[in-house]
Amino acid sequence: MNRINPVVTPEEIARQQEFIREIATMPHRPKTYHIVTYGCQMNAHDSEKLAGMLDEMGMTPAPKREEADFVIFNTCCVRDNAERRALGNITWLKEVRKTRPELIIAVCGCMIQEPGMAERILKQYRFIDLAFGTSNLHRFPELLCMTLEKNEPVVEVDKEDVIPEGLPVSRLRPESAYLTVMYGCDNFCSYCIVPFVRGRERSREPGAILREAEQLLSSGVREIMLLGQNVNSYGKGLENPVSFAWLLGQLDRMSVPRIRFMTSHPKDLSDELIETMAGSAHILPQFHLPVQSGSNRILEKMNRRYTRERYIERVQSLRSAVPGIGLSTDIIVGFPGETEEDFGDTMDLVREIRYDSAFTFIYSPRVGTRAAYMPDQVPEDVSNRRIRELIALQEDLQRTTLGRFLGMEEEVLVEGISRRSGAEVSGKGKHGVSITLPGGPEDIGKIVPCRVKGLKNNTLTAERKEEK
C-alpha cells in the first residue's frame, strides 16, 4: 500500500462482504430501503455504492421514503441551504417513526464529516440510528450489523483518507456510468469546505480505473463520466505518476462511446489535456470550468490561483482546439468584500465568455473555512440582487449561445421521457446541452442521432435522423 493513495485492503473488503452475508440471513433485518441524496455527482455515486451493498443484503428499493424500512440520508454541506434541507427532512422522518417504530434512519456523507457534527448528532438528534462519514463508506455493512444488534446509536467518523476498491455498485442509470478517478481535494479555496470533509487528494491506480471501464463497456454502457473533485490534477502520488490527459487517452483508445469528466480546476487545465481532447474520437466536446468570479481581487481572496486573464486564455485555447465546445461554469456572488466593481467584472466576464450554462450560487459561510472569518461579509439583500442580475444576464445570453446549435447534427443519449410531452424524450447532446426530440420509452439509454431545429424556453428541440 502506498501512503499517499492508501487503498482499502482486499481482506477488509472481504470482511465487509461477510457482514453483508450475515445481514442477508438476519430474520429481523429491514426488507426495503430508500436513499435520499443531496449534492454533487460524487455523492450520487456514493449512493449507488450504498445501494449495491443493500441489494446484496437482499433488500429492495422502496420508491417513497415513508414506505421504506430503512432510510439513508446521504448529505452535502457545501452550502448552508443543502445542510438545512437535509436536517429538516431528517427531523420530519422522526414523525413518521411514531407510527412505524421499526423504521431505521441513517445519515452519511459530507455533513457527518464536519467538525463537531458527530457529537451534535448524538446529543441533538438521538433518533438517528446510524451515522457515518464519507471515509467510512466501505465499512457500512459492519456498521449496519452493529446497528441491528444494538439498541443505541452507532456513530463512526474516521479522518483517515482511503480509497475503497471492489465495493458492489447498483447504478441508477446503467447506460451512463460514474467512474471515480480521484478522491478529495488539496486546493483549499478559501470558501470551500470540501477539503475538510472529503480529505486530501488521492488518485486511484490507473489499472483499477481501466479495469472498471472495461467491465462497464462489456456491460453495455454508452457513456462514462469520470469523477473527481479536481479531475485534472489526477495522478499525483501514484507509484508511477501519470497525467489525467494520459488516462483520458487510454480510455479513448478503449472506444468507450462517450467520455465526459468533471470537475476541472482552471489552474490545472494543461495544454496536454486540450491536445488530447482535440485528437480524441470519444471524449465529448464539452467542458465544465468553474470560474467562481471575474474579479482578480476576489479570485485572489478565494485562493483560486489563476487570474481572469489566464482563465480567458485557457477558454480561448480550448475553443480553438475543439471548435464549438460546450462550456459551463460555476459562479459565486457575494463573496466577502465583493464590491459593485468586482461584481461588474463577473458580469463582464460572463458577457465575454458566453457560457452554454452557468450554475450560480450565493456565497455561504462555512465554519472552519478562511472566508468565513474575512471582514466585509456582503449583506443578504445585496447578494440576492446580484444573483438575480447574473441569472437574468445568463438567460439572456443563452438564447444566442444555444442558437449556434440550430440546424446542427447532434447525438442525444436519451435519459427519459420529456416532462413537457409524453411523445418526446430528452437527454444530453455531445456538447452537454439538453435536447428534446420525438420518441418513447424504448429510446431510453440509446444514442439517437438528430438535427437541432428549434429553441424553446432555452431548451433545444430536434428531429430524429436515421439511428446508429
Q: Binding of ligand SF4 at residue 359 (CB under 6 A)?
A: no
Q: Which is nearer to ligand SF4, 37 or 293 (CB)?
A: 293
Q: How far is the CB of 193 from ligand SF4 (least distance, A)?
A: 8
Residue from 45, 65, 366, 431 touching ligand 5AD (CB under 6 A): that is 366
Among ligand SF4, ligand 5AD, none, the one that 187 touches (CB under a kind-dependent 5 to 8 A) is ligand SF4
Among ligand 5AD, ligand SF4, none, the one that 445 touches (CB under a kind-dependent 5 to 8 A) is none
Q: Binding of ligand 5AD at residue 192 (CB under 6 A)?
A: yes
Element (H, E) at 288: strand 286-288
Nearest C-alpha neighbor of 430 from the set 317, 281, 292: 281
**For the chain, what is the radius of gyration of the CA atoms?**
23
Q: Which is nearer to ligand SF4, 77 or 189 (CB)?
A: 189
For 365, the grid coordinates are: 459561510
Nearest C-alpha neighbor of 342 from the set 351, 333, 350: 333
- Where does this chain touch ligand 5AD (CB under 6 A) — which range of 133-141, 345-353, 358-366, 443-451? 358-366
Q: Binding of ligand SF4 at residue 195 (CB under 6 A)?
A: yes
Instruction: Find all residues with CB under 8 Å of 321, minimum gap 6, and list them.
Output: 274, 275, 277, 278
Among ligand 5AD, ligand SF4, none, the one that 185 touches (CB under a kind-dependent 5 to 8 A) is ligand SF4
Residue from 47, 147, 286, 364 touching ligand 5AD (CB under 6 A): that is 364
Which residues in 334-433 belong to E strands, given as ranges? 357-362, 409-417, 424-428
Residue from 73, 191, 196, 306 touching ligand 5AD (CB under 6 A): that is 191
Under 8 Å between Cβ of 74 and 36: yes
Rounded Cα distance between 99 and 130, Å, is: 20
Among ligand 5AD, ligand SF4, none, the one that 105 touches (CB under a kind-dependent 5 to 8 A) is none
Q: Binding of ligand 5AD at residue 361 (CB under 6 A)?
A: yes
Nearest C-alpha neighbor of 196 from the set 260, 119, 100, 114: 114
Q: Binding of ligand SF4 at residue 194 (CB under 6 A)?
A: yes
Q: Binding of ligand 5AD at residue 7 (CB under 6 A)?
A: no
Rounded Cα distance between 159 and 143, Å, is: 16
Residue from 79, 204, 304, 308 touching ligand 5AD (CB under 6 A): that is 79
The b/e string for 308-322 (b: 16+ C-beta within 10 A; e otherwise) is: beebbebbeebeebb
For 313, the grid coordinates are: 486564455
Among ligand SF4, ligand 5AD, none, the one that 366 touches (CB under a kind-dependent 5 to 8 A) is ligand 5AD
**Strand pairing of 223-227 and 176-180?**
parallel
Instruction: Find all residues with CB under 8 Å of 52, minimum gap 6, and list them.
Output: 167, 168, 169, 170
SS3 content of the chain, % helix, strand, coil (to 5): 40, 20, 40
Residue found under cell 490534477: 233
Q: Which is nearer to ligand SF4, 194 or 414 (CB)?
A: 194
Q: Which is nearer to ligand SF4, 92 or 359 (CB)?
A: 359
Residue from 34, 138, 173, 265 touching ligand SF4 (CB under 6 A): that is 265
3-state secondary structure of 10: helix
Q: Binding of ligand 5AD at residue 108 (CB under 6 A)?
A: no
Q: Binding of ligand SF4 at residue 269 (CB under 6 A)?
A: no
Residue found under cell 437527454: 427
Q: Binding of ligand SF4 at residue 187 (CB under 6 A)?
A: yes
Torsions phi, psi for 74 (to 5 deg)? -100, 105
Query: Residues in the chain, how many?
Result: 468
Among ligand SF4, ligand 5AD, none, the one that 195 touches (CB under a kind-dependent 5 to 8 A) is ligand SF4
Q: How far is the CB of 191 from ligand SF4 (least distance, A)?
A: 7
Q: Which is nearer to ligand SF4, 109 or 429 (CB)?
A: 109
- Where does this chain touch ligand 5AD (CB under 6 A) — which range of 4-12, 109-117, 363-371, 390-398? 363-371
Under 8 Å between Cβ of 349 and 309: no
Q: Which is nearer to ligand 5AD, 246 or 361 (CB)?
A: 361
The site for ligand 5AD (CB under 6 A) is made up of 78-79, 191-192, 290, 292, 330, 332, 361, 363-364, 366
The site for ligand SF4 (CB under 6 A) is made up of 185, 187-189, 192, 194-195, 229-230, 265
